Amino acid sequence: MTESICHYADLAGKRIFITGASSGIGAGMAEVLAEQGCDLVLHYHQNQQGIEKTLETVLASGIRAEVVQGDFRNLDLVQSVFDQAWSKFAGLDGLVNNAGVVTKSLSLKDVEGRAFQETLAVNLQAPYLLSTAFAEACKKQQLPGNIVNNSSIHGQATCEWFSAYAASKAGLDALTKVQAVEWGKLGIRVNSLAPGVVPVERTFDVLYQPKMQKKWVSAMPAGRYGTVQDMGMATAFLLSKASEWMTGSVLTLDGGLIARGHYPYRD
C-alpha cells in the first residue's frame, strides 16, 4: 500500500460505495480512500480472488469494509445490490460508479446491437439506477451526498472499434451534468472522472512493451501513463470538501493526451 500524497481530513469516517472494486482502477480507488479513512462497501461481479485482495488491502488501513456482489448486465439486480450496500453501515455518504466493461467492437460487426446494448447496460444504465437509488435514499433521510462517475476520455474523443464504449461514456458525462442539476438542491454533488491510458492488470504486459510505450507515452505531454493511484487521489478530491463548489463537471486525467490532439510534432 502506498501512502496518499494529499490527505483530506473530512473524508475520515465517510461511508463510500465503490462498484467494480476487485481490480484495476476500482481497487486503486479503494486503496486510496481507505488511506483517507473512509469506510468502504466494495462491489464485484465475478473476480472473487481480486475482491478478497482488495478487502485485505483496505482493512490494513484500519477502516471498516464490506463486500457486495452483483452482475450489472442484469439491471433487475441493481436495486438489490444498492440496498445491500446502503444497509452495511446504515447509510452511505458517497457512491463511486466505477464498474464497467471496455467493449471493442466495430459497428458492422455488431449489426444487431447486442454488444452495444450490454455495454450501455453496465456502463450507463446501471450507474443511472444506482445514482437514482442513492439520491432517493439520501432525500428520504435528508442527507447530503456525493457521486463520482468513472467515465473515460472516449466520452470526449474516440476512435475506431469503440462505438458502444464511447457512446456509454459520453452518455455518462451527460448524465453527470443532468443529475448534478436535478439534485443540487438536495445537497448532492455529481461529477465525472475521465481517465486516459491507465495500465491495469489485464493491460500491463501490452502497454509496457517498448513499442507501445513509445507510441502512447510520447503523445502525452506529461510523459507517462496514469496510475490507479492517480485515479484514486482524483476520486478522493471529488469526494472531499476541497471540491465542494464543483458539480456537474468532468475531470479529465490523461497526461494531456487529448489536449494535444493529432497535430504533427514540432521541435
Say if 158 falls within a structural domain.
Answer: yes
pLDDT higher than threshold 90 for residue 87: yes
Residue 146: what pLDDT? 98
Q: Tell me, what CATH number does 123's domain have?
A: 3.40.50.720
Alpha helices in the chain (DSSP H): 24-35, 48-59, 78-88, 114-120, 126-141, 163-183, 204-207, 210-217, 228-239, 257-260
Into how many domains does the chain fold? Answer: 1
Confidence at residue 2, expressed as pLDDT on a 0 to 100 scale: 59
Q: Is residue 263 part of a domain?
A: no
Average pLDDT value over all residues in the chain: 96
Lowest-pLDDT choice from 32-36, 205-209, 261-265? 261-265
Q: What percent of the chain has pLDDT over 90?
A: 92
pLDDT value at residue 262 = 81
> Does residue 1 sit within a domain?
no
Rounded to the nearest 10 degrees, the angle between the axes of helix 126-141 and helix 78-88 is 40
> What pTM was estimated for this model as a whole?
0.96
Q: How many CB atoms lie within 10 A of CB 179?
A: 23
**59: containing domain:** 10-254
pLDDT at residue 3, as a whole number = 63
Supply the pLDDT for residue 255.
97
Q: For residue 127, what pLDDT is reported? A: 98
Q: Is residue 4 part of a domain?
A: no
The three cell numbers of residue 171 are 452518455
Average pLDDT over residues 240-249: 98
Give the mean pLDDT of 107-114: 92
| pLDDT surpassing 90 at residue 261 | no
**What pLDDT sits at residue 4?**
66
Q: Is the pLDDT of residue 1 over 70?
A: no
Q: What are the residue numbers of the active site?
A: 165
Q: Is residue 242 part of a domain?
A: yes
Q: Decide if 2 is inside a domain.
A: no
Residues facing 189 on adjacent strands: 146
Sheet hosting strand 250-253, strand order edge to edge: 65-69, 39-44, 15-18, 94-97, 145-150, 188-195, 250-253
- 167 pLDDT above the threshold of 90: yes
Neighbours of 226 (CB within 10 A): 21
User: Which grid cell sits at 49?
Assistant: 480472488
User: Distance between CA atoms of 236 and 234, rounded to whole angstroms?
Assistant: 5
C-alpha cell at 230: 492517480
Quick: pLDDT tens for 37-82.
999 999 999 999 999 999 999 999 999 999 999 999 999 999 999 9
